[in-house]
């Protein structure tokens, strides 16, 4: 019995010693892991500068599209895009209207098509350097910005976020690419999207 007792005590001492060593290792590993996470986590409080254009596509994205528009396989898609009604110089603005609603729809298709046209005409301006495209996009933007002031319907936020963002992106292409927007134009358009399309933010 004494021999068994001594053996049991010895085993307990070994197990206890191992547990202490393992606990120490675990603590050290945890500390090292935490230090690594802290050192490598994103620095969210670092100030960053927004560079125009920067919504949806930046300057290098646009330059890539322009330089590849005549090369396969991109050419086929570009040709289809350029042939679409909203990218055509023959596009006729369908608005503007003071009220746009969704469910029930009020002037929604006009808003949808015109915002798509703003974006598509702006892209075509950048691709072709034909200022007529830029002028058409500018005309549509300013017309809506000076008229639209009311949203209606149960899902109007979706209309603003789905279609209004195309107008924002179009303006973002025109603004830094000599697309014909004056400082006064930019102020009018910015105020419109800030005040009437708050759902986009």
- pLDDT recorded at residue 6: 52
- pLDDT recorded at residue 28: 74
- pLDDT recorded at residue 10: 47
- pLDDT recorded at residue 30: 76
Q: b/e per residue, 90-102, with b = 16+ CB within 10 A?
A: ebeeebbbeebbb
- pLDDT recorded at residue 4: 55
- pLDDT recorded at residue 38: 64
- pLDDT recorded at residue 78: 96
Alpha-carbon span 165 to 118, nearest angstrom: 10
- pLDDT recorded at residue 59: 82
One pLDDT digit (tens) per residue for the chain, 201 residues? 555 555 444 444 444 555 555 555 567 777 776 676 666 666 666 666 666 666 677 888 898 999 999 999 999 999 999 999 999 999 999 999 999 999 999 999 999 999 999 999 999 999 999 999 999 999 999 999 999 999 999 998 888 888 999 999 999 999 888 889 999 999 999 999 988 876 555
């Amino acid at each position: 019995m004494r021999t068994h007792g001594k053996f049991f005590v010895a085993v307990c001492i070994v197990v206890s010693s191992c547990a202490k060593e393992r606990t120490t290792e675990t603590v050290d590993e945890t500390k090292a892991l935490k230090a690594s996470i802290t050192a490598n986590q994103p620095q969210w409080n670092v100030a960053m500068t927004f560079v125009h254009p920067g919504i949806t596509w930046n300057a290098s994205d646009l330059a890539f599209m322009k330089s590849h528009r005549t090369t396969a396989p991109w050419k086929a898609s570009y040709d289809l895009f350029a042939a679409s009604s909203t990218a055509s110089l023959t596009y006729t603005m369908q608005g503007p209207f003071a009220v746009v609603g969704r469910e029930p729809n009020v002037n929604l298709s006009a808003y949808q098509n015109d915002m798509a046209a703003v974006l598509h005409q702006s892209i075509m301006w950048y691709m072709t350097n034909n200022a007529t495209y830029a002028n058409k996009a500018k005309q549509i933007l300013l017309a809506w910005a000076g008229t639209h002031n009311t949203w209606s319907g149960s899902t109007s936020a979706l209309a603003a976020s789905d279609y209004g963002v195309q107008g924002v992106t179009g303006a973002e292409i025109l603004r830094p690419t000599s697309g014909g927007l004056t400082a006064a134009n930019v102020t009018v358009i910015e105020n419109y999207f800030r005040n009437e399309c708050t759902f986009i933010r």
